Amino acid sequence: MKKLLTLICAAMVTQSSFAQDKGILGQKHTEHVELKSINIGDCKWTDGFWADKFHTAEHAMVPYMGEVLTGDVGHALNNFKIAAGLKEGEHKGMRWHDGDFYKWMEAAMYVYAQNGDKSLLEEIDGYIDIVAQAQEEDGYLQTQIQLNDKVDRYENRKYHEMYNTGHLLTSACIHHRITGQDNFLNIAIKHADHLYSVFSTGEKRYGRFGFNQTQIMGLVEMYRTVGDEKYLKLAEIFINNRGKYKVEETPETKGYPIGDMVQERVPLRKSSEAVGHAVLALYYYAGAADVAAETGEKELVDALDRLWENVTDKKMYVTGAVGQAHYGASTNRDKIEEGFIDAYMMPNMTAYNETCANVCNSMFSYRMLGLHGESKYADIMELVLFNSGLSGISLEGKDYFYSNPLRMVEGARDYSQHNTETPHREPYLECFCCPPNIVRTVAKSANWAYSLSDNGIAVNMYGGNRLATKLEDGSDLILNQVTNYPWEGTVNITVEKAKKKEFDMMLRIPDWAYGTTVKVNGEAVDAKVEAGKFAVVNRQWKKGDIITVDMPMDVKLVEANPLVEEARNQVAVRRGPIVYCVETPDLPEGAKILDVYVKGGAPLKVTYDKDLLGGVSTIEAPVLIRNDHKMEAGMYSTVTKPDFTETTIKMVPYFTWSNRGQSEMTVFLPVIWNNL
């Protein structure tokens, strides 16, 4: 009997381990999480909003970006060819351009996982061969250093070697999980082993080196993929080093801001405030969440909880965007760039909100969703994806914003002085980190739609899709989701295949969706349905069961915390997950963005227009247009009774702005309450 039980247990372990071995996060053996990634490709967008976005990624975003990065404009592939001895020339592009190329390769693999296009795989494998030839014998691989005779390896952290490393390791792991091939993974193993040989020694000069911390996520994925514990150990070393050393300029830090800018004043486990460069911070936090998922360390998780709350409650815009300022100072008065400043300091027109930072915000929340299994993290993921993420790329998928302000006013700023801040999207950005980041996010979005729980499935995102996966016990599950979300709030999920035993269907009820109902086969469920929580329906599911989630899609006026001075007496307009804006193409002739006032309490009408901006729901809003504003009047002027004209305008989703030519735009609008 004992032998029989042993065999049964062994079979169960084998079956369970088969359920998740190809996820975006390779959590096959990860113990300290509530929710795990589904396998890449198990969910496919079939119809509606995200299916359209993925189609654009497949046919425009990824191919166009490939042309840019493999040609002479982006020059990224040329850098590898030169390092490999296949081409003459010199390094071009930013010091982190290798990482941009790896991100694009990762995006291409997500597309391949969906469409199975062998020509795409062959193309990527050809580039992998070039990268392999560029790699040094001992595993080192950084073209900006290899092609610079005046700089030594790991001489100065400003060269972003760790950043490139992280994207290399992550991209290689994704390639391996999708294809089963080792050609890219072998490059990553060789490089990671080299990294360990250098940075595990405890040599002081390397203690403050890993400031752009994508290598932590990459090392954890290498540990998950290969099973070598030294990679996880090295990831922890990089975390433990932050805040350990005296903050002063050294030869290794010269030429780049120090202190809070790179999160090195306070050890992570003692941190309670998000500081410094927003991208560096959020990559760091996301990597630490990966480590915590493997180790279960409570002190680390507690710190991440504090930091997540600080970001989302005190330093995040209504669009999910983060990184309030291009230039500024931390609360410790360290110089910072592209990052977090004081709590509630939320400028609209000068908001920086780098696309990478917004994407990283969703990446961090995705990992926190796994750690805690709470729907509030998926709320942030969705908020970013529909708003401050997609705003970083044009509707046709070929033009990009680096920064994403909440207001654009003609003539108010001199954009010639800011190469990453532009009044309209550009077809190529010299600092190219953001474009491949949003492209890979769109390309992998279906893999965020669901997560595996111990005994069921969590529905994180709504959109027309088909899920064919295995639960943690190895049983098959097939779901078909039909919806016109985010333009409509009704979602129908049909069970096509499920095990006979009871299991949980965890349905995310968004934090804005008060009054949501959940029914199975037309009957209300015996489960708590609460906005901002998962509604957990446990039952014996059978083929043909239909789950209906009906979310009210009322238009809501949103105001900021009173401490946000720049938004006092102003409101933003939101419907479901979509934040709206006013853009000059929708204003009366001659009217300016700064002249528009919302009539608080007035009825707001929603209309779906299939021919506008790729098909969107617009909001018809009664407004007052002020006629006596004169920007040229000077800094201050006396006002008596303002002169207004009443009219009705159309508001469009924020992510669609700047797709009809250069224009003015604002998210927050002054409000006049007509019922007071």
Per-position DSSP letters for 435-462, written without gaps between them: HHHHHHHHHHGGGGSEEEETTEEEE-S-
Q: Nearest-CA neighbor of 287 among 193, 174, 210, 390?
A: 210
| 49: pLDDT strictly greater than 70 | yes
* Mean predicted confidence (pLDDT) in 389-412: 96
Tens of pLDDT, residue by residue over 415-451, are 877 679 999 999 999 999 999 999 999 999 999 999 9
Q: Residue 574: is its pLDDT beyond 90?
A: yes
Per-residue pLDDT tens for 248-302?
A: 999 999 999 999 999 999 999 999 999 999 999 999 999 999 999 999 999 999 9
Indicate the pLDDT class of residue 1, thresholds 50, 70 and 90. Answer: very low
- The pLDDT score that the predictor gives to residue 152 is 96
Mean pLDDT computed over every residue of the chain: 94
Question: With pLDDT > 90 as the criterion, what percentage of the chain qualifies?
Answer: 91
Handedness of CA 210, 355, 294, 264 (dihedral sign): positive
pLDDT at 21 over 90: no
Distance in angstroms (rounded) separating the CA atoms of residues 560 and 567: 6
Residue in the structure block whose two tokens are 């996982």 = 113
Range(s) of the chain covered by CATH 2.60.40.1180: 449-550
- In 559-676, the DSSP E strands lie at 570-575, 578-583, 596-600, 605-609, 616-626, 644-653, 665-666, 669-673
Q: Which CATH number fits domain 449-550: 1.20.58.2240, 2.60.40.1180, 2.120.10.30, 3.40.30.10?
A: 2.60.40.1180
Looking up tokens 């014996």 gives 540
Among 566, 582, 597, smallest CA distance to 666 is for 582
Q: How far apart are CA 215 and CA 633, in angstroms?
A: 53
Q: Which of 520, 594, 627, 446 is nearest to 53 (CA)?
A: 446
pLDDT band per the 50, 70, 90 thresholds, residue 675: low
Return the axis-axis angle of helices 355-372 and 375-384, rounded to nearest 10°: 160
CA-based nearest residue to 369, from 358, 382, 387: 382
Please spell the DSSP secondary structure of 307-336, one letter per residue: HHHHHHHHSB-TTS-B--EEEEE-TT--EE
State the average pLDDT over residues 346-358.
97
Residue 7 reports pLDDT greater than 70:
no
- Tokens encoding 402: 């680096």
Give pLDDT tens digits for 442-455: 999 999 999 999 99
124-133, 335-344, 417-426, 663-672: which has the minimum mean pLDDT?
Answer: 417-426
- For residue 18, the model assigns a pLDDT of 53
Residues 6+ apart with CB under 8 A from 462: 481, 483, 485, 486, 491, 508, 549
Comparing 331 with 140, which gets the higher pLDDT?
A: 140
- For residue 31, CA distances in Å to 34, 152, 300, 604 come to 9, 40, 16, 48
Which H or E run contains 357? helix 355-372
Strands lying side by side in the sheet with 503-509: 36-37, 450-453, 456-459, 503-509, 533-539
Q: What is the rounded average pLDDT of the residues 367-381?
A: 98
